Amino acid sequence: MASALSLLGLLVATFISPGSAVPTNFTVQPFNALLQNTYLPNETLYPAAGIDFGIELDFLGDLQEEWLEDFEWAKQEAQRT
């Protein structure tokens, strides 16, 4: 599970801020496959920790859903070239 959260963290760091560096060998398909196979737990493991120790689970779930269903990956990939 930690690797799944790390993957989403990597994607957040890569795509949240405009102008962020994207690897030159970036392609959409591996990211989509990783997102589809990313498991998020049903409930927060340490709810008392709050955001001091990372991104809230609800936000990660919403972000994962948006990237899988609504985000225009091909458009973003085309803008890189």
Residue 38 near residue 64, CB atoms below 8 Å: yes
- Answer yes or no: pTM beyond 0.85: no
Instruction: Give the domain extent around 27.
Output: 2-80
Residues 6 or more apart whose Cβ sits within 8 Å of residue 61: 40
pLDDT in tens, the chain (81 residues): 444 445 556 655 555 555 555 555 556 677 778 888 888 888 888 888 877 777 888 888 998 999 889 888 778 777 766
Q: How many domains does the chain fold into?
A: 1
